Amino acid sequence: MARVAFLGLGVMGFPMAGHLAAKGHEGTVYNRTLAKAEAWAARHGGRVATTPAAAAEGAEFVMACVGNDDDLRQVCKGAEGAFGGMRKGAVFVDHTTVSAAVTRELSAEARRLGLGFVDAPVSGGQAGAENGQLSIMCGGAEADYARAEPVLAAYARICRRLGESGAGQLAKMMNQICIAGLLQGLAEALRFGEKAGMDGKAVVEVISQGAAGSWQMVNRHATMLEGRFDFGFAVDWMRKDLGICLRTADEIGAPLPVTALVDQFYKDVQAMGGGRWDTSSLIARLRALDPAG
């Protein structure tokens, strides 16, 4: 069993840290809003720290799942950042979805301090975090990854090292590029069916078992048809992720025409007040475009 610290007990981090405790890893948690950390400790046991540095003291592994590039920099390098509290040889594992650039910057800083660093963004959403069934895409030195992998198994369905520092984040970008186009296609098909007078659920039962089937189709078609979006992976987070994809594509010269378009559609959803809606809300935009309803 390892001594672990977990920074960021949001939708994803709270259950992920819970799986570490359930496996018997000895843990300290930190959350910017203290009440969430106290609620976590009341449920799972373990210690609460009031700064990332204090949480990291004595830990062999420090996991983080915060918001964006700046948030990650803050919990790592800020005045009370985790790097300041970690002992030499400890490994920082970042589950936040961030740019490959900030990953490489922090990984280099970690190496300078004698620390390991693994970028390990996740896919599988809130349900995957709660069920301990996440896909984890990793980058970093082989030795750091080899040490972290048995601990990450607490909440992984699959966990793989895909290359050096930043490779995990590049894989997560590929994941988000796939999802963006796929969700727009699904939204268009379901809206097409509505206008054509088809029973969307009955159609999905058939086509989900053929070449059009996808996780999004199976798990999201019913709520899309009902117009329910108050759950899941928020549009605001998706725009952060697509922004990272589009900036990276620009740097490396990769065309992302459909992703760029869907990003603008999500901007429309934000303007409709849907920033916290699930990403399947692209169908709400199509309905709103239609004066006939």
Which residues of this chain interact with ligand NAP, rule CB under 6 A? Answer: 8-13, 31-33, 36, 65-67, 71, 74-75, 96-97, 122-123, 125-126, 233, 237
Give the active site residue among 23, 36, 77, 172.
Answer: 172
* Catalytic annotation present for 77: no
Tokens linked to 6? 């977990």
d(CA 80, CA 52): 6
Burial grade of 86 (CB within 10 A; 0-12, 13-18, 19 or more):
buried
Nearer CB in complex with ligand NAP: 207/275: 275
**Least Cβ distance, residue 37 to ligand NAP (angstroms):** 9
Nearer CB in complex with ligand NAP: 74/270: 74
Nearer CB in complex with ligand NAP: 65/190: 65
CA 167 to chain centroid: 15
**Least Cβ distance, residue 194 to ligand NAP (angstroms):** 27
Nearer CB in complex with ligand NAP: 107/176: 176
| Residue 30: strand pairing partners | 7
**Least Cβ distance, residue 222 to ligand NAP (angstroms):** 18
Check if the beta carbon of residue 95 is closer than 8 Å to that of residue 124. Answer: no
d(CA 166, CA 172): 10
Q: Which helix (H) or strand (E) holds 249?
A: helix 235-252
| Distance (Å) of CA 125 to CA 73, 118, 134 | 23, 20, 8
Q: Which helix (H) or strand (E) holds 136?
A: strand 134-138
**Least Cβ distance, residue 111 to ligand NAP (angstroms):** 23
Nearest residue to ligand NAP by CB is 10
Which residues are known catalytic residues? 172
